Structure 1
Amino acid sequence: MKTYFLTVYSNKGEALLDEQIEANSEDEAKTIATQKLEENDYKDTTHRLVSPDARLLLFHR
């Protein structure tokens, strides 16, 4: 398993959510991240999901 990083930011640039996600693949990480965003009502808030090798997998502004 690899560790992916999900971060959600407020309009002021403060981190609202900063979590590590353990997943076997990028697709699984995206699915888990999307679920967490929906659960916490952050789907339309600025967020990003980054892979262990620093590639941007999800981004919303």
Structure 2
Amino acid sequence: MRNYTLTVFDPSGKKLLDETINAANDEEAKQLGTTKLEAEGYLEHTHRCVSPEAKLVLFHR
């Protein structure tokens, strides 16, 4: 498993969520991140999910 970081920001730039997601690959991390965002109500907030190599897997602005 690899550690991905999911971060959500409010319009002022304050972090609303900063969480580690364990996933086997980028696609699984994207799916898990999207599910978490939906559950927390953050899908339309600015967010990003990055791989251990700092590759953007999921991004919304």
TM-score (norm. length: structure 2): 0.97
Aligned length: 61
Provide structure 2 residue ranges, at least 5 long, that are not aligned to the other structure. none
Provide structure 1 residue ranges, at least 5 long, that are not aligned to the other structure. none
Query: C-alpha distance in 2, partners of 1:25/1:58?
Result: 13
Instruction: Give how far 1:15 is off.
Output: 0.3
TM-score (norm. length: structure 1): 0.97
RMSD of aligned alpha carbons = 0.4
Identity %: 52
Q: What is the 5 A alignment of 1:31-42?
A: 31-42=31-42
